[in-house]
Every structure is written in structure tokens, then in C-alpha cells.
């Protein structure tokens, strides 16, 4: 049975981002520390290669924990930093998340091998010792084929879009078939290219602005992007978005305050 998804107009991208901001501001520090925790796990794996496998397998669980915290806030509850660890002990699809981590790690290795094969000459030039940086840059650019760049970007796009919605589909939708999940995640970007392009453009715009402030605004921006991306998942894949308890009467004002985005 295929995974059903809904299609939205381009302006939905702005609504998703706005909903992410409304949820974030209800408990900003906790969301910031949650995102920092995920980032620190990734940085530790860079400095301690032995932990790369552990970090790769743990990331889907931490991401699911972050998304679960979003649902808790939508339901009017309180969250704490430790909530990000709940998927490790919950009876959700933990096996599915573990398998996803393995698949994503394998895909990452394949992407690295592809990059090494396509840009081997450029890497060899940049690793040469006692070479003038300007000469090295000129030789590197000359060694890179535009066809190889296009091929790598296509492969990277497929990789990113296939895994983009994989965590919530496995953990919240309880999907068991990994390849069906990856296919559905990829197809979202085909059917909702307008809405996701608007959403991506908004995130990119604020990221560029953060460059002029030493990237400090990313501490706020990145959690909002995580939250709003999960809101887009709810809109596309969840038939019912969880409602906050105090929303007994439905109105546009209530939706704005809770950060909900109903289709």
C-alpha cells in the first residue's frame, strides 16, 4: 500500500515557516538546546572518528525526539531537553529508525565514493604540498568537469530529498518498508515543488542574512527550520494535525497562537 500525500500551493511554504516560528517562541531556549545537542553529537563524530557510526545511528532517534517535542507543544504541553532522548526508550518504530540510520550511513558512504571518483584530480591538486595557492586553485578549477558537477548535484539532490521526510514517516506513520519511505519522501518534492521552494527560499534568505551577524542568528533560525519542516510533514502526510487542549473552539486566531497548520 502506497503512502498517501497531499499537494499544496506555493504559499503554503510561508505558512509552514510562520507556524514553525509560532511553536518555537512558546519555549525557545529548549528548542535551541535540543538543536545544539543534535549538532554537538555530529561535531563529536568529526573529531572522534570511532564515534561516527554511533552518531549516524543516533541521529534519526534524536530527530524523532525533536519532532515529538513539537507535537507536545502543539498539544499544549511542556518540554525539556531530555525529551529528545525519548525515542530511544519509547515503543515506537525503534527498529525502523535503526535501519534508517544504517541505510543513510550506507548512502553517505556511496556519496563520498562518488565525490571522490568525480573530483579525484581536484582533491589531488589541493593536497599537494609546496604549491602556490593561486596556481592550485586555477589547476583545480580546470580539472573539474561541469558534467561531473551536474551529476554530483543530481545525486546529492536525490540523496537529500529521499531522506528528508524518512524519520517522521518511519516513527510517526509506523512505516516498515524503507524503500517505500524513501520513494514517498522523494515524491513529496516533485508534487509540492512550489511550496517547498518557497519554504527553502525563506530559510536560505535568513541564513544568508545571518552571515553578516557572524552566523549567531542560526541559533534561532535552525530550530525554527526544523520545526517548520516537521509542520510541512504534518500537513502533507498527517490526516489530522494534533490540536492543543485549549483549542475547543476553532478560529483563525487560535491556529495562529498554537502554531498549527491545518490543510
pLDDT of residue 2: 67
| Residue 4 is assigned to a structural domain of this protein | no
CA distances from 147 to 111, 143, 160, 221, 259 (A): 16, 12, 20, 34, 44
- CA dist., res. 261 & res. 216, Å (int): 28
Q: What is the pLDDT along the chain (263 residues), one digit of tens a residue?
A: 568 889 999 999 999 999 999 999 999 999 999 999 998 988 887 777 778 888 889 999 999 999 999 999 999 999 999 999 999 988 767 889 999 999 999 999 999 899 888 888 777 777 777 777 777 777 777 778 888 889 999 999 999 999 999 999 999 888 888 999 999 999 999 999 999 999 999 999 999 998 888 888 899 999 999 999 999 999 999 865 544 434 333 334 444 444 445 44
- Give the count of domains, the chain: 1
| Residue 190 is assigned to a structural domain of this protein | yes
Give the three cell numbers for residue 174.
Answer: 509506523
Give the three cell numbers for residue 29.
Answer: 531556549
| Residue 259 is assigned to a structural domain of this protein | no
| Residue 250 is assigned to a structural domain of this protein | no
Q: What is the four-CA torsion angle of 32, 35, 36, 40, rounded to 10 degrees?
A: 170
Tell me the whole-structure pTM to 2 decimals. Answer: 0.84
| Residue 253 is assigned to a structural domain of this protein | no
| Residue 154 is assigned to a structural domain of this protein | yes
Range of the domain at 196: 12-245
| Residue 26 is assigned to a structural domain of this protein | yes
| Residue 261 is assigned to a structural domain of this protein | no
pLDDT of residue 160: 93
Amino acid at each position: 500500500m502506497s503512502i498517501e500525500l497531499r499537494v499544496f500551493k506555493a504559499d503554503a511554504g510561508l505558512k509552514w515557516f510562520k507556524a514553525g516560528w509560532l511553536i518555537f517562541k512558546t519555549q525557545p531556549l529548549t528548542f535551541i538546546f535540543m538543536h545544539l545537542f543534535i549538532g554537538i553529537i555530529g561535531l563529536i563524530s568529526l573529531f572522534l572518528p570511532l564515534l561516527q557510526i554511533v552518531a549516524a545511528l543516533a541521529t534519526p532517534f534524536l530527530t524523532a525526539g525533536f519532532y515529538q517535542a513539537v507535537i507536545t507543544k502543539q498539544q499544549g504541553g511542556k518540554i525539556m531537553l531530555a525529551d529528545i532522548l525519548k525515542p530511544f526508550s519509547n515503543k515506537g518504530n525503534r527498529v525502523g529508525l535503526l535501519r534508517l540510520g544504517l541505510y543513510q550511513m550506507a548512502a553517505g558512504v556511496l556519496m563520498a565514493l562518488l565525490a571522490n571518483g568525480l573530483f579525484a584530480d581536484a582533491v589531488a591538486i589541493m593536497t599537494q604540498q609546496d604549491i602556490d595557492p593561486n596556481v592550485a586553485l586555477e589547476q583545480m578549477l580546470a580539472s573539474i568537469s561541469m558534467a561531473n558537477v551536474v551529476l554530483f548535484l543530481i545525486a546529492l539532490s536525490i540523496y537529500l530529498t529521499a531522506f528528508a521526510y524518512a524519520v517522521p514517516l518511519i516513527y510517526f506513520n509506523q512505516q516498515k518498508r524503507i524503500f517505500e519511505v524513501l520513494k514517498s519522501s522523494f515524491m513529496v518534492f516533485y508534487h509540492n515543488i512550489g511550496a517547498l521552494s518557497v519554504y527553502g527560499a525563506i530559510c536560505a534568505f535568513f541564513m544568508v542574512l545571518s552571515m553578516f551577524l557572524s552566523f549567531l542568528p542560526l541559533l534561532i533560525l535552525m530550530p525554527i527550520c526544523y520545526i517548520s519542516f516537521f509542520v510541512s510533514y504534518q500537513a502533507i502526510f498527517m490526516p489530522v494535525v494534533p490540536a492543543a487542549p485549549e483549542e475547543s473552539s476553532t478560529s483563525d486566531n487560535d491556529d495562529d497562537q498554537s502554531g498549527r497548520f491545518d490543510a
